Amino acid sequence: MIRIAFFDTRSYDRETFGKYISDDIEISFFEGKLNIKTIEVVRNHDAVCVFVNDEVNEEVINKLYEYGVRIVALRCAGYNNVDLKAAFKKVHVVHVPAYSPYAVAEHAMALLLTSIRRIHKAYNRTREFNFSLDGLTGFNLEGKTVGVVGTGKIGRIFMDICKGFKMNVIAYDKYPIEGSDINYVSLDELFEKSDIISLHCPFTEETKHMINTESIKKMKKGVVIINTSRGALIDTEALLNGLKERKVGAACLDVYEEEEDVFFTDRSGHILDDDLLARLISMPNVIVTSHQAFLTREALENIAQTTIENLKSFFNNEPQIKNELCYKCGEINNCKRKRKEKCF
């Protein structure tokens, strides 16, 4: 019997993961996030399952180890909230590298179309029988230049979608795909030439605040910035200034640097303490969704299936733990080592 402590649970998690509860798998669903304050509930569990905003830092990892937990299963692709170095030799970390890159790429395009065709404004107007078109003028995507930062799974699908709109696609990636037909340019050139910029690279020390005052200065007036990746890729104050100065034409944000305490919960009855977020949301040319890009039926099914397979591969002592993140060999998604030759 595998006993899994499941954190930051929402109704859709209970629905999809609930199907896997059996004689072999017991799941305790907790609504709260995993952090040092909530860790006590992990006692008597064999594994923990976490999402993007749970805090799996060194302190938490040491406690997990003390409580006998030897595996953390991320039910997401990004793992910047896990201290892999601290986990090394203590706790195995698995993730879901690709559950539906289409879900995220399609959401990025949904945000872009909503923004530039003012669908969010039009929807509110017609609900009140206001059929005026004043202020709703948009622009065509056809012929516009889109700059894609990060040409991994999601970035490449987003590029294909853009090509379907007959856009001119340029891209930057720190690790460009050799021999591909992707039109790679330098990051500066991408900032200078793009009418629309979409971020699809991971959050790392290097990518932190890649959209900042300096980079915004290099951009075209009226640029549309889309972020479905991680909030901290953007310096929010710099973005706000860019919007206020009319340099940035619009922002489409599915992620936000300080989203941990706000996103995924109904805060409608509360005063929003985060002034930056409140200011962003108040702007007519900013669309914020609360880390929703992954949320499709297909993605949820894939996430649940892969997470359970990852856990089973560990508990069934399979020669290779599926989708393990390896700190030591650095081969994050393709660690070749077998269990018997493991780094741990």
Q: Does 154 bind ligand NAI (CB under 6 A)?
A: yes
Q: Which of 16, 95, 101, 311 binds ligand NAI (CB under 6 A)?
A: 101
The four Cα atoms 184, 186, 188, 194 give a dihedral, to 10 degrees, of -10
Token pair for 315? 């508990």
Closer Cβ to ligand NAI, 245 or 298, answer by number: 298
Least spacing, CB of residue 309 vs ligand NAI, in Å: 18
Token pair for 310? 């990852």
Closer Cβ to ligand NAI, 141 or 182, answer by number: 182
Q: Is 120 a catalytic residue?
A: no
**Residue whose token pair is 């969010």:** 120
Q: Does 81 bind ligand NAI (CB under 6 A)?
A: no
The four Cα atoms 132, 116, 282, 158 give a dihedral, to 10 degrees, of 150
Q: Exposed, middle or buried by CB within 10 Å (0-12, 13-18, 19+), for 81? A: buried
Could you tell me how far CA 27 lies from the centroid of its own chain? 24
Q: Does 201 bind ligand NAI (CB under 6 A)?
A: yes
Token pair for 140? 């065509």
Residue from 45, 107, 118, 230 carrying the catalytic annotation? 230
Q: How many helical (H) and strand (E) elements, i.e. helices and strands, does the chain have?
A: 11, 11
Least spacing, CB of residue 204 vs ligand NAI, in Å: 6
Q: Does 158 bind ligand NAI (CB under 6 A)?
A: no
Q: Is 107 a catalytic residue?
A: no
CA distance 209 to 212: 6
Closest CA to 34 of 11, 12, 63: 63
Stretch that binds ligand NAI, among 85-93, 111-119, 222-230, 243-251 (CB under 6 A): 222-230
Q: Which of residues 246-305 bind ligand NAI (CB under 6 A)?
A: 254-255, 291, 293-294
Give SS3 for 168. Answer: strand
Q: Does 207 bind ligand NAI (CB under 6 A)?
A: yes
Q: Is 259 a catalytic residue?
A: yes
Q: Does 10 bind ligand NAI (CB under 6 A)?
A: no
Q: Which of 8, 110, 148, 152 binds ligand NAI (CB under 6 A)?
A: 152
Amino acid letter for position 141: L
Closer Cβ to ligand NAI, 61 or 171, answer by number: 171
Q: Does 200 bind ligand NAI (CB under 6 A)?
A: yes
Q: How many residues are present in the chain?
A: 344
Catalytic residues: 230, 259, 291
Residues that bind ligand NAI in the complex, under the rule CB under 6 A: 77-78, 98, 101, 104, 149-155, 172-175, 200-203, 206-207, 228-230, 254-255, 291, 293-294
